[in-house]
């Protein structure tokens, strides 16, 4: 693949590479970012390779970020993984490097960077990074394989989502050939704290579902405080409504400290990312995020989801 070779050539040309990913990271954001870092470090030990961004407390068990100085960006190659648009990139210093590469699997509606590789058929950015390494003759270390596997498992919902392809499984199998605690990682990703268990019960008790299978839930700051759950921790319940057989698409509104709502939209079959785009967001056809700035906008978003589900099921 031409772009794969171009990415490798750029990495070879720079002595310092700094890797970014999106704000509020998930396992794929960290997996692709740190997996790429570990691959470069293993194959080019003479290079300085740094992972930049906020340390999300719920995901430090996967990997932790590096301390990156402003001076590190001088003459550096910057690579951003798993981030569809510029406003979502964690750490605005990504703009201060010498050359910028975007590697992503979301719809390419913000084609930033001097070089781009965007593959919307890939399950995850971690799948793309692994594919890149395998196709350019680079060696995968055990450390890289561990975080990349985490990323693929996270973004495929343990290989349950529609984005899981035969290629995804072949790449995951290659990663599983490496030495890391696969069972321990799986247990960690499948477990949650007692307070999240209580929040799960709240979801089932308060979820509103219409007769076509469109569902919604609002998590106010009061509810988050009651369960002592942060905004980041609340992401653990985003898939919960989908476990109900009659639910086709759902939206969870999470109130933020400033009063606006973070909107998480998911669907089993109905395309919902166009709805997210209309409300300061975007994402995958069946998994998107948006923002709402009033209860009225919350209602509007839910009605748009209801209409999309009704149209698809009629």
pLDDT of 25 above 90: yes
pLDDT of 308 above 70: yes
> Which of 189, 217, 252 is a domain's end point?
189
Please tell me whether residues 215 and 158 are part of one structural domain: no
Q: Is the sign of the CA dihedral 30, 32, 38, 41 positive or negative?
A: negative
Looking at residue 1, what is its pLDDT?
63
Strand, coil or helix: 286? coil
Please state the rounded mean pLDDT for residues 11-20.
98
Please tell me whether residues 211 and 150 are part of one structural domain: no
Looking at residue 123, what is its pLDDT?
96
Please tell me whether residues 139 and 260 are part of one structural domain: no
Please write the tens of the pLDDT for every residue from 196-229: 999 999 999 999 999 999 999 999 999 999 999 9
CA distance 79 to 104: 10
Query: What is the pLDDT of the chain when averaged over all its residues?
Result: 95
User: 156 is written with which tokens?
Assistant: 């495929």
Domain that holds residue 241: 195-313
CA distance 273 to 287: 7
Give the distance, in angstroms, between the CA of residue 148 and the centroid of all CA atoms in the same chain: 12
What is the end-to-end Cα distance of the chain in Å, rounded?
A: 43
Helix H or strand E segment including 262: strand 261-267
Please tell me whether residues 103 and 10 are part of one structural domain: yes
Please state the rounded mean pLDDT for residues 4-28.
96
Please tell me whether residues 24 and 85 are part of one structural domain: yes
Please tell me whether residues 76 and 128 are part of one structural domain: yes
DSSP 27-64: HHHHHHHHHHHHHHHHH-TTSEEEE-S---GGGTTT--
pTM over 0.75: yes
């Amino acid at each position: 693949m031409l772009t794969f070779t171009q990415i490798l050539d750029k990495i070879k040309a720079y002595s310092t590479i700094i890797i970014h990913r999106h704000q509020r990271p998930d396992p794929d954001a960290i997996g692709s970012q740190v997996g790429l870092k570990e691959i470069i470090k293993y194959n080019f030990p003479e290079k300085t390779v740094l992972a930049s961004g906020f340390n999300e407390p719920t995901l430090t068990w996967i990997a932790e970020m590096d301390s990156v100085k402003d001076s590190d960006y001088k003459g550096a190659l910057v690579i951003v993984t798993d981030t569809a648009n510029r406003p979502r990139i964690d750490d605005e210093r990504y703009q201060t490097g010498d050359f910028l590469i975007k590697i992503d699997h979301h719809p390419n509606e913000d084609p930033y960077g001097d070089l781009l590789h965007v593959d919307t058929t890939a399950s995850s950015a971690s799948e793309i990074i692994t594919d890149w390494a395998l196709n350019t003759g680079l060696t995968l270390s055990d450390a890289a394989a561990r975080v990349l596997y985490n990323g693929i498992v996270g973004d495929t919902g343990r290989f349950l989502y529609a984005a899981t392809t035969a290629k995804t499984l072949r790449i995951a199998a290659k990663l599983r050939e490496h030495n890391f605690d696969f069972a321990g990682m799986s247990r960690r990703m499948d477990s949650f704290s007692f307070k999240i268990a209580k929040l799960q019960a709240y979801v089932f008790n308060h979820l509103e579902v219409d007769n076509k299978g469109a569902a919604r839930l609002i998590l106010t700051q009061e509810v988050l405080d009651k369960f002592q759950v942060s905004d980041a921790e609340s992401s653990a319940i985003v898939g919960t409504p989908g476990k109900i057989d009659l639910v086709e698409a759902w939206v969870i509104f999470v109130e933020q400290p400033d009063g606006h709502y973070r909107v998480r939209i998911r669907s089993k079959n109905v395309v919902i990312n166009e709805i997210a785009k209309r409300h300061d967001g975007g994402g995958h056809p069946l998994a998107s995020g948006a923002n709402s700035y009033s209860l009225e906008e919350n209602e509007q978003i839910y009605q748009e989801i209801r209409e999309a589900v009704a149209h698809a099921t009629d």
